[in-house]
Amino acid sequence: MSDTKHKSAVWHYMPNCRIPAGKSLPKGFIRYAAVVAYDGNSFCGFQRQKHSPSVQQQLEEALSYVANEPVIVSCAGRTDTGVHASHQVIHFDSSADRSGYNWMMGANTRLPDSVSISWVSDMADSFHARFSATTRTYRYVICAQKTRPAILAKGITWVRQKLDVELMNQACQHLLGEQDFTAFRGSGCQSVSVFRNVHSAEVYHSGQLIVFEITANAFLLHMVRNIVGSLLTVGSGRKPPNWIAELITQADRSKSAPTASPSGLYLVNVSYPIHFKLPESVEGPVFISRKEERV
């Protein structure tokens, strides 16, 4: 083996990195996972930014206080500006040996009201919030009525026109399976592949609200909001359900509808192999009924 190949095969630990098979965290370090919920209205998104407050910044400051040392966190999915989460999963490495209860309660005393940790546990070195995840589920909450809602105005998306849920559901069938989702890919997306595998997609009523729910192995930048924009076009009767299939075939973002508002979007579940023993999500937000409670 040449020197170049030998050097490229050397693995170096970095905080929160993916641990290769046969390797482990540095001695004295523990990998922890946590479940986090947040209202995204006050943040520029999950990822830390220099110009605006982020969810990551709030979590790192709170967890660093508990650890009495700097803590860096990694998440299952980087939500955008204004997007919410009822079940985001993060992980972090620390030499601080704390119980899950102490991490959770200590951090929550330092977090703003818009961010909350509901579970923390130490994990196997092989766990990674992003790379160990098998699926992510988002819900998009819509209020379709003539007048704007006063309650939850920044937690739902308001549209003036009536929406045909059955037509939107028919359109959802064209999203299923592994496909090229260029038509719903946001500009600036850095993903190497445009293919994603959508496991399920449906639209349903929850009381007076309309919910779009989608589960996939992963999502492109703005993918859910771009899909919602086009589903609203179908639901209002301006395009037929098979228009979604045409958009996917054409693979041209300029032909699909404008991006929907971030206000109604929630990350509600991240699934992992059962051996990691993460808690089951209740798939919020709290004002949306569970599937088994639907009429």
User: Catalytic residue positions?
Assistant: 80
| Helix, strand, coil fractions of the chain, as percent rounded to 5 | 25, 25, 50
Cα 259–chain centre separation = 17
Each residue of 239-259: b (16+ CB within 10 Å) or e? bebebbeebbeeeebeebbeb
Would you tell me the crossing angle of helices 165-172 and 243-250 to the nearest 10 degrees?
Answer: 30
Q: Which residues partner with 89 through β-bridges?
A: 35
What is the spatial distance between Cα 274 and Cα 45, in angstroms, rounded to a whole number?
29
Nearest to 19, CA basis, from 89, 78, 93: 93
DSSP letter (8 states) at residue 184: G
What are the phi and psi torsion angles at 85 (to 5°)?
-150, 135
DSSP element (H, E) containing 4: helix 3-8
Total number of residues shown for the chain: 295
